Amino acid sequence: MNIKKITIGADHAGYLLKEKVIAHLQERGIEVIDVGTNSPDSCHYPDFAHAVCKQVQDGTSELGILICGTGIGMSMAANKHRGIRAAVCSDTFSARLTRMHNNANVLCFGERVVGMGLALDLVDSFIDAEFEGGKHQTRVNMITAIEESESQK
């Protein structure tokens, strides 16, 4: 899969790294939609998780990237959205395998956890990996079934 468009968002704790990731993606020829934040001023991460996930849900972007202090809050907020499979990663093996085995569509990480070099490697590992399907599709379908059954309550 050749990724053409990614939506990215960050709160104040991920703002500086978001700017570096955007430049890296653009150097790779990937169109980037930046939903903010646009400064290091304190703000609320769920707003940006929601904005990124809506664009992945409606097909505006193929994938999303969310950055906060640790990536944890962003992933919690993102995974509340139907059809979103967000993963917090701080190593390239996990970033690659979450796409290959879980068909993750949103990568989350923390500016306070990973440095710039590792962050760019995480992004590359995530977007360059392809979902393998097969037995993994069965498992993704099981996750979707849980999601759907819980939304009926």
Q: Give the Cβ contact number of residue 149 at 10 Å.
A: 9
Q: What is the pLDDT of residues 91-120, one digit of tens each?
A: 999 999 999 999 999 999 999 999 999 999
Helix/strand/coil for 69: coil
> Catalytic residue among 12, 24, 50, 101, which?
101
- Give 55-101 pLDDT, tens digit per residue: 999 999 999 999 999 999 999 999 999 999 999 999 999 999 999 99
Count of structural domains within the chain: 1
Domain containing residue 74: 5-151
Q: CA 92, CA 128: separation in Å to the nearest integer?
A: 11
Report d(CA 132, CA 2) in Å as an integer.
Answer: 15
Q: Is 68 a catalytic residue?
A: yes
CATH of the domain at 86: 3.40.1400.10
Task: Report the pLDDT value the prediction gives residue 153, as an integer from 0 to 100.
Answer: 77
Query: Model-level pTM?
Result: 0.96
Question: 68, 81, 89, 108: which is the annotated catalytic residue?
Answer: 68
